[in-house]
Amino acid sequence: MKILIAEDDRVTRQVLRASLLSLGHQVVEAADGTGALEALAQPGAPNLAILDWLMPGMDGLEVCRALRQRPGRYIYIVLLTARDAHGDMIEALDAGADDFLTKPFKLGELRARLRAGERVLALQDDLLRSQEVLLHEASHDRLTGLWNRGRVLDELARELRRTHRDLSTLALVLCDVDHFKQINDTHGHTVGDTVLKQIAVRISSTLRASDSVGRYGGEEFLLILPHADIKSGRDVADRVRTAVAAQPITAGTLQLGVTISLGVACSSPGISEEILIHAADQALYRAKANGRNRVEVPNT
């Protein structure tokens, strides 16, 4: 574990550094509270700090208070002090200290304090990872890894607001896998899932970094193409269609030739998400009616 020590007394700091190194930790040093705050603000800074209570400039309690006011990751703070009065301990805890190490400290006590800190930080890491997983699952489709319907519709609403402000346009593409029910009925849903996952990869690989794609529902995908008009939107849609159809999709021992149909619509001033999606859906319906594996745009 990487640990910051902030101690103005050079001898105490050397003893503390040697003790931490003997326990297998990495050490970052500061000679005062200001230096400690600066060190803890750096990328890759320690998550655990041992602060001397009495230091020139900012003392340990002031550093505690400053750290607790900062947003972001939690710093576990061990206060190094010769004070042991009940009132002092209450003051330190109120300032944000997590634990205490009494001067002169013993190696066994130091090890025990650090283990307590490690346990708390490990629990925090687990909680943050769980939070990230939940946030990802709330916005992404589990099967394809793309944005889910709610998230891609939120992005469409955001992009439309931007086009209204900037007086620009965006193209919306609605894709549907041709004969997908037949694939499921003939080969089973596991093969169908594989088809959807590989199509998602092929669509994503064709788009620009500024474009967005989500699973709209079932075998449908929704593409948002900022700063695109109907012509450029149709060009992108045709590249996506070609990318999907170019090579068979491998599903176990099967090699399946799969195609998609696409409908493209372009935004106009004041248009709503519902009207834009409806226009793309009507174009998609026409692509299906005209033989599939093709791109259509709204009638003009």
Residue of 33, 28, 99 lying closest to 67 (CA atoms)? 33
Angstrom distance (rounded) from CA 128 to CA 134: 10
- The alpha carbon of 92 is separated from its chain's Cα centroid by a whole number of angstroms, namely 35
10 Å CB burial of residue 264 (0-12, 13-18, 19+) is: buried
For the chain, the first-to-last Cα distance in angstroms comes to 65
Number of Cβ within 10 Å of residue 26's Cβ equals 11
- The alpha carbon of 253 is separated from its chain's Cα centroid by a whole number of angstroms, namely 35
Residues 6+ apart with CB under 8 A from 243: 202, 203, 205, 206
Catalytic residue, from 7, 155, 159, 219: name it: 219
Check if 274 is active-site: no
Residue of 208, 269, 206 lying closest to 238 (CA atoms)? 206
Residue with tokens 């970052």: 28
Residue of 181, 266, 277, 165 lying closest to 221 (CA atoms)? 277
Angstrom distance (rounded) from CA 164 to CA 211: 18
Residue with tokens 């474009």: 211
Residue 46: asked if its preceding bond is cis (omega within 30°), the reply is: no
State the DSSP H helix or E strand holding residue 268, giving kind and residue range, or none if neither: none
Residue of 228, 237, 231 lying closest to 175 (CA atoms)? 237
Active site residues: 219
